[in-house]
Structure 1
Amino acid sequence: MSLKAQLTDDMKAAMRAKESERLATIRLVLAEIKRKEVDERIELDDAQVTAVVEKMIKQRKDSITQFEAGGRQDLADIEKKELSVLTAYMPAGLSDEEVAAEVQAAIAASGAAGPQDMGKVMGILKPKLAGRADMTAVSAQVKKALAGA
């Protein structure tokens, strides 16, 4: 079953179970997917749907940080609930060791010799690790590995 179909089924289940918070979050995701499909005139596949969910997760994390800094714990709690619903739709994350192994493999495959080759390495890693690892942390690992190369 595709991720989009799973979201639709989960929306129906949330309606039947009267889970209003979960339902609202799933509707947000589906609306964002629909917006992107209409804007680009394409049908999103699972990788693109995952990218949409990943973007929404990043937005929620940023919002939580801002709300807590501003002393609005009530709004931060709402964002945290949405974040927990969104993370359920992401693929299983990779461990730090698995990410490090992927970084080393990508460096070897690209023949990167130093920091100037970071774009090549990230170009290899992004499709493999998108949604399964924090790309900011991956970028930092690549930078560190290339600095030592």
Structure 2
Amino acid sequence: MSLLERLNSDMKQAMKNKEKDKLTTIRMVKASLQNEAIKLGTKELSEETELTILSREVKQRKESLHEFDKAGRQDLVDKLRAELAIVELYLPKQLSEEELSEIVKETISEVGAKSKADMGKVMAAIMPKVKGKADGSLVNKFVQQHLS
């Protein structure tokens, strides 16, 4: 089942169950996917593109969450946390820290990185491997740790 089909199915279920917040969030994600398809001029998006869009949606919500938290807007923080939980349901299973650390070590040895100067090469090689499965800032942190 494609992501769009899952979203449509879950949207119908949310309507039946009168889950207004879930319905709104699913509609926003679906709109993002459709807007990207229109922008690219295609009927269907590749799985990789869908992952990129979902990751973007998660990142936007996390950034907004941080800003609202700093501003003391607990009502918006709670709303965004609920949205984030819903969007994350559509992402692939996230890698554990141990799994991510192992992938970082393997990639560093593949690339032949020795110091922090090679950070760009390592990040360029590792990000396609963990796309949608790990947060970029966490990957960055692990790469820095292993290169120092």
TM-score normalised over the length of structure 1: 0.91
Tell me how far apart the structure 1 counterparts of residues 75 and 114 of structure 2 sit (CA, whole Å): 49
Distance across 1 between alignment mates of 2:139 and 2:86: 24
Q: Aligned letter for 2:18? A: K
Look up the match of 2:50: 49
Match of 1:20 in 2: 20
- For 2:10 and 2:50, the matched residues in 1 are separated by 15
1:47 to partner: Cα distance = 2.1
> What is the match of residue 73 of structure 1?
74
Distance in 1 of aligned mates of 2:13 and 2:138: 35
Q: Which consecutive residues of structure 1, in runs of 5 or more, have no partner in the other structure?
A: none
TM-score for both structures, normalised by structure 2 = 0.92
> 1:44-64: per-residue Cα shift (whole Å, max 9, x none)?
122221221111111111112
Q: Deviations over 1:66-96 (max 9, x none)?
A: 1122121111111111111111111111111
Say which is worse superposed, 117-126 or 78-87, in terms of deviation: 117-126
1:123 is matched with 124
Runs in 1 of length 4+ with deviation above 4 angstroms?
none
Displacement of 1:20 in angstroms is: 1.1
Could you report, residue by residue, the CA deviation over 1:103-134 in whole angstroms, capped at 9, with x for unpaired residues?
01111111222222222211221111111112
CA distance in 2 between counterparts of 1:107 and 1:65 reads 31
Structure 2's unaligned 5+ residue stretches are none
| Alignment match, 1:132 | 133
Structure 2: distance between partners of 1:56 and 1:38: 17
Distance 1:93 1:17 in 2: 28
Equivalent in the alignment of 1:6? 6
Size of the alignment, in residue pairs? Answer: 147
